Amino acid sequence: MHVPVQAIDREIWRDGVASEGTRLIPEETPLALTYNGGTYAVMMGTPQNLEDFAIGFSLDEGVIKSVDDIKSLDVVRLDEGIELRMWLAPEDAARISGRRRHIAGPTGCGLCGVDSIAEAVRPASIVPQGQSFTPQQVMAAMQAIAPLQSINMQTRAVHAAAFWSPSNGIVALREDVGRHNALDKLAGALARSRTNASAGMVLLTSRVSVEMVQKTAAIGAPVLVAVSAPTALAVRTANAAGITLIAIARSDGFEVFTHEGRISARRAQEIIDVVA
């Protein structure tokens, strides 16, 4: 089935008592990304916003430099999965022919199929200085995510990646069972809408690993905010890329790990007032 949510009957045991009921759970589908007829990667993901995923994955992987490099994109639904068929200019297709990912990755696997250490820890793009933000804006942005997570409200089982700007609030939000996929989908949505990422923040409902920083750098956002802690490599990569990495963003505040200069100094009481 290629719908994002399925209703499943199950037996429930609570407090020693058995009952029956139905639960909504997210679908997980093989997604094959192909360029000019050749398979580059097969990922497991949520079958929604697939054009965004195909474009964002291509940008974040460095397969293309612009959404305009994709000459055509078809979403082909097969019995066993979904194929995202993209056609590039011959010179672009030739450039990637030697680095195809023939390994099928588990749900949202950000580095599956990478066959060298250098590729796995490649330097991230350097982001522009971009926008600065107040602590109140960071808190308000993170609080705006939950009401927009339609799949997660039904299932409590998917990640979200969102983009927030001071002038428009949440510009785009994408969900997926894989946190990397959610960020790829967001990248595609921003590219298709020609959104200037230097004017806002990328928001994550997941932890921050190095590939999440690499993808944010490819998007060009100066600030990355996540609810969970980062890895040490993610912090080093964000610092080198010029990204302000904010993590452990909860209802009572957050922690800034790199390039704190983009966050305006405010009194702690002002942050408390936002969440009061």
2: exposed, middle or buried (Cβ count in 10 Å: 0-12, 13-18, 19+) = middle
Strand stretches in the chain, DSSP E: 5-14, 17-26, 29-35, 38-45, 70-77, 82-88, 104-107, 159-165, 169-176, 201-204, 223-226, 244-250, 253-256
Beta-carbon-side half-sphere exposure of residue 220 (alpha carbons within 13 Å): 15
Distances (CA, A) of 43 to 40, 55, 215: 10, 14, 16
Q: Which domains does the chain have, with CATH numbers?
A: 29-120 (3.10.20.10), 135-262 (3.40.140.10)
* pLDDT of 102 above 80: no
C-alpha distance across the termini of the chain, in Å: 44
CB atoms within 10 A of CB 272: 12
* pLDDT of 32 above 50: yes
Convert the pLDDT of each residue in 186-229 to its tens digit. Answer: 999 999 999 999 999 999 999 999 999 999 999 999 999 999 99
Could you tell me the pTM of the whole model? Answer: 0.90
Distances (CA, A) of 77 to 85, 185, 274: 11, 18, 46
**Active-site hit among 42, 55, 88, 109:** 109
Beta-carbon-side half-sphere exposure of residue 250 (alpha carbons within 13 Å): 5
Convert the pLDDT of each residue in 253-269 to its tens digit. Answer: 999 999 999 998 654 44
Alpha carbon distance 133, 105 (integer Å) = 36
Name the percent of the chain lying above pLDDT 90.
79
CB atoms within 10 A of CB 198: 16
Q: Which of 42-51, 117-126, 186-195, 256-265 has the lowest mean pLDDT?
A: 117-126
109 a catalytic residue: yes
What tokens were used for 149? 């997570």
